[in-house]
Every structure is written in C-alpha cells, then in structure tokens.
Amino acid sequence: MTTESALDTALSQLRRAVEQLQLSENEWQTLSTPRRVLEVAVPLRRDNDHVEMYKGFRVQYSTTRGPSKGGVRFHPDIDMDETIALAMLMTWKCALTNLPYGGAKGGIAVDPSTLSLTENERLTRRYTSEILPIIGPERDIPAPDVGTDEKNMAWMMDTYSVNAGFSVPGVVTGKPIVLGGSLGRTSATGDGVAISTREALIARDINPIGATVAIQGFGKVGYWAAVALENMGLRVVAVSDVRGGVTGFSSIHDLWSHFLAEGNINAPGTDRLTNEELLHLDVDVLIPAALADSITEKTAVGIKAKIVVEGANAPTTPEGDAILNDKGILVVPDILANSGGVIVSYFEWVQDKQNYFWNAGEVRENLNAIMMKAFKEVETTSNESRVTWREASHMIGVGRVAEAHRLRGLYP
Ligand code: GLU
C-alpha cells in the first residue's frame, strides 16, 4: 500500500469522529490541517568520503493542548504524507491518554541498516541541527520510533544542548538513563501493549492466564510485549520478524538468548511459519507489532484470533478493519494499545523538568493507572455510543482537541 493512503486512512478516521461528535465544518477544517510541516535536506558524508543527500521531515500536527510530541522514524519509505498521518495519530493518542501534548512525527528517508555507527551519528546530528529552530522542551519533543533508539536520542540531546550552551535533557525522550532518561521507557510500549491485551481479554470474559498470543514483529514493541505477557501468565505461541516467524519455542527468554547468540529466531526445535501463517493462527490474541498495513482486505479474512491488539501504528487498513469488525473480532486500536511509549515519555519529560527521578515501581504504577483510565473511557464510549473501540478512541481524542480549540478561541 502507498504512503498516500496512510494519510487517507487517518483523514477518513478523523472525518468519522467529526461526524459522530457532530462537530462543525469549521472544526473539521481546523482539525484536519497540520499546523507546521518542515522538509529539510540532510547531507551525509559517508565513511568513504562520498556525500549523499537524504530527505528529513518534522510535522507538528497540533500544539493546541501543549507542545507537540512524537517519534523520529528512520525508514526508506517515509515521506511527508506518511509523516503527517503519523503526527495526526500522535495528536489523538496524546489527547486520548490526556497527556498535555499536541502531536508530532519526524523522520529521515533512510535505511539505518545501511549506515555505520558514525554515519548514523552524523546523519542524526545534522537532521537535529536542521530542525533545531522548531524543537525544544516547550515546543516539540522528539522520541524514538521505527529505526531509531536511545543512541539517536543521546545525539539529538547533545546537538541541541551544544547549540543552547547548556544541557537540555527535556528536548527529547527515550534517552539513556544516565542522560536523564526514565526507568521503564525502553519496555514502555510493550508493557502498554500487554496491559491492553490483559484488559481486552477481561472485557471479553477470557481468563488472561494461559491465553494464547501470536506477535508479528520482534523489535522494540513486540519483544517487550512478549516478555510482559509471559510475566502476566499468558502464552506467547508464535513471533515473527521481517524474515518470517517461528512457533514451538519453550519461552521468549530462550528464544531471545538464541537471537542474541545467532542473530536469528530459528532456535533448534522450533517450526518455521510465514508472516501470513502467523496472522492466521488459531490464538486468543493477535498482536501486529511491525509496520503499517499488515492486516488488509486480503489477510484479514483468515484471522482466527478473538482480539487484535495494535502494537504498531496503523497496522490495519480500513478494508481490513471492516472485515475484522464483521467477524466480531475486538480491535484495540493503535492510539490506545501502543500509547505506553508516549505515556512514559511524558513521565521522562516531567522528571527532566523537575530534576527528580522516579523509581521503577512509580513508573509502572502510573503507566498502569493512565492506561486503565483511557481503557475504561473507551469501553464506556463504545457501549454508550454503540461504536467500535477504534471509533470510541478517536471520538475521545478528537473531542478533547476540539474542546481545547473552542476554549482557546481563534486568534485574532
Ligand atoms: N514513537 C512512539 C509512538 O508512536 C513514541 C512517541 C513518544 O514517545 O513521543 O507513540
């Protein structure tokens, strides 16, 4: 699917929420327009002295409820439309979880696996320098996303701080702990996916203990979700990465040890399966935690799971979504299911502002409390308005942003 359709999908979800909330045409205009979009050229001197140009993006979709917030993605397919779509999703995600933020997203159209560590550092620093005028702890706070991690955040924080003349840890979240990162941030998105899975099972009267789960994606989200789910007593029966999936492993811990040693997930005694076979396993919960558009018109038909928990951003196309709904499958949408990452990012920003750092238990308890509140609100709205959980999540998120617009008024 093209990236253009990621924006189409996001806009059609917004259109539906605007209709369901009976908002005005003026409100639709305000809500459907990104506030600030920036495209920059990012030159990189490769280790062999060749200079290459990459496209970099930063979209501040909304700043109505606070500074904009969202990740930085390094992926060859990223473009402006997709960045706008993802920044829009961040806006509803932050509003749904009631964080005092707008929404943003950024990235560079590059495959990070083609970069050496020093090339990655130069590219990250130059990108930071190009977007420097519009970011800052009170303006827009980047974080990791697909293809970036705490290393990139450390370089971004350093580049910003060197230019400011003093340390500014609050300019990015997802930093290493020693630079003002938060305990629990690395596993936060996966932890939130596990909380979502547990709560969705309970909502469907299925005992989470012993419930079976298949996870597409074994990266930052999928891996930590698998660990948290096993700790909660669920059974992760299959996982996959871009090369395909495996089933029949004894535990995630054993599979991870094999991965660290061998660089692949084909541990002895496991059975291989394709990504499509993984999607179609007869499990209680399916967690798409890879990239966008994996549950489509074509793949949705064969899904047997009772619940789909969206670990990735926008993993389901509208056609795929309609099929899941017709089949009676409960879908926990991305803006709820994967909100754990930005929630703990918020905790990190608060800790940086206060120069006072929390223990792991405080992070865990506060994450659980915020997600549980959002969950209950989504469940209640879904029941009262007779809409899907995705529609309910968008109604709450979009409704809060619209209310903030109304109360602030239009200047001048
Ligand atoms: N990239 C993550 C997301 O899509 C986290 C964003 C953040 O922490 O700001 O939610």
pLDDT, one tens digit per residue, over 42-78 is: 999 999 999 999 999 999 999 999 999 999 999 999 9
pLDDT, one tens digit per residue, over 175-202 is: 999 999 999 999 999 999 999 999 999 9
Looking at residue 3, what is its pLDDT? Answer: 37
Catalytic residues: 105
- When divided into structural domains, the chain yields a total of 2
Ligand 1 midpoint to CA 282 (Å): 31
* Same-domain status, 168 and 27: yes
Q: Contact at 8 Å (CB) between 251 and 276?
A: no
Looking at residue 157, what is its pLDDT? Answer: 98
Atom of ligand 1 nearest to the CA of 86: 4
Residue nearest to atom 8 of ligand 1 (CA): 342
Tokens of 88: 């829009």
* Same-domain status, 48 and 170: yes
Ligand 1 midpoint to CA 385 (Å): 29
Residues with CB under 6 A from ligand 1: 69-71, 143, 145, 173, 313, 338, 341-342, 345
User: Is 361 a member of any domain?
Assistant: no
Cα–Cα distance, 310 to 292 (Å, whole number): 10
* Same-domain status, 139 and 212: no
* Same-domain status, 55 and 158: yes
pLDDT, one tens digit per residue, over 200-226 is: 999 999 999 999 999 999 999 999 999
pLDDT bracket for residue 291 (50, 70, 90)? confident
Q: Considering 160, 179, 198, which residue would you say is the last residue of a domain?
A: 179
User: Is 386 a member of any domain?
Assistant: no
Mean pLDDT of the chain: 96
Least confident of 168-172, 228-232, 264-268, 327-331: 264-268
Ligand 1 midpoint to CA 219 (Å): 15
What CATH number should be reported for the domain holding residue 28?
3.40.50.10860
Q: Considering 273, 306, 328, which residue would you say is the last residue of a domain?
A: 328
User: Is 343 a member of any domain?
Assistant: no
Residue 268 has pLDDT above 50, yes or no: yes
Q: What is the CA radius of gyration of the chain?
A: 20
User: Is 387 a member of any domain?
Assistant: no
Least confident of 131-135, 258-262, 373-377: 258-262
Does residue 372 sit in helix, strand or coil?
helix
Looking at residue 242, what is its pLDDT? Answer: 87
Looking at residue 1, what is its pLDDT? Answer: 40
User: What are the E-state strand segments in 46-135?
Assistant: 51-62, 68-74, 103-108
pLDDT, one tens digit per residue, over 69-90 is: 999 999 999 999 999 999 999 9
Mean pLDDT of 96-118: 98
> Best of 74, 345, 350, 370 to mutate for ligand 1, by most ligand atoms within 8 A of CB?
345
Please state the pTM of the whole predicted model: 0.97
* Same-domain status, 45 and 169: yes
User: Is 323 a member of any domain?
Assistant: yes
* Same-domain status, 28 and 175: yes
Domain range for 101: 20-179
* Same-domain status, 113 and 65: yes
User: Is 84 a member of any domain?
Assistant: yes
pLDDT bracket for residue 275 (50, 70, 90)? very high
Mean pLDDT of 327-337: 98
User: Is 170 a member of any domain?
Assistant: yes
Looking at residue 2, what is its pLDDT? Answer: 40
* Same-domain status, 203 and 120: no
* Same-domain status, 124 and 195: no
Q: What is the DSSP string of 42-68?
A: EEEE-TTS-EEEEEEEEEEEE-SSSSE
Mean pLDDT of 355-363: 98
Residue 379 has pLDDT above 70, yes or no: yes
* Same-domain status, 69 and 121: yes
Cβ contacts of 236-240, under 8 Å, gap ≥ 24: 237/212, 237/213, 237/281, 237/283, 238/214, 238/273, 238/278, 238/281, 238/283, 239/214, 239/215, 239/265, 239/278, 240/215, 240/216, 240/265, 240/273, 240/275, 240/278, 240/290
* Same-domain status, 222 and 259: yes
Q: Considering 328, 358, 374, which residue would you say is the last residue of a domain?
A: 328
**Furthest C-alpha separation in the chain:** 68
pLDDT, one tens digit per residue, over 110-162 is: 999 999 999 999 999 999 999 999 999 999 999 999 999 999 999 999 999 99
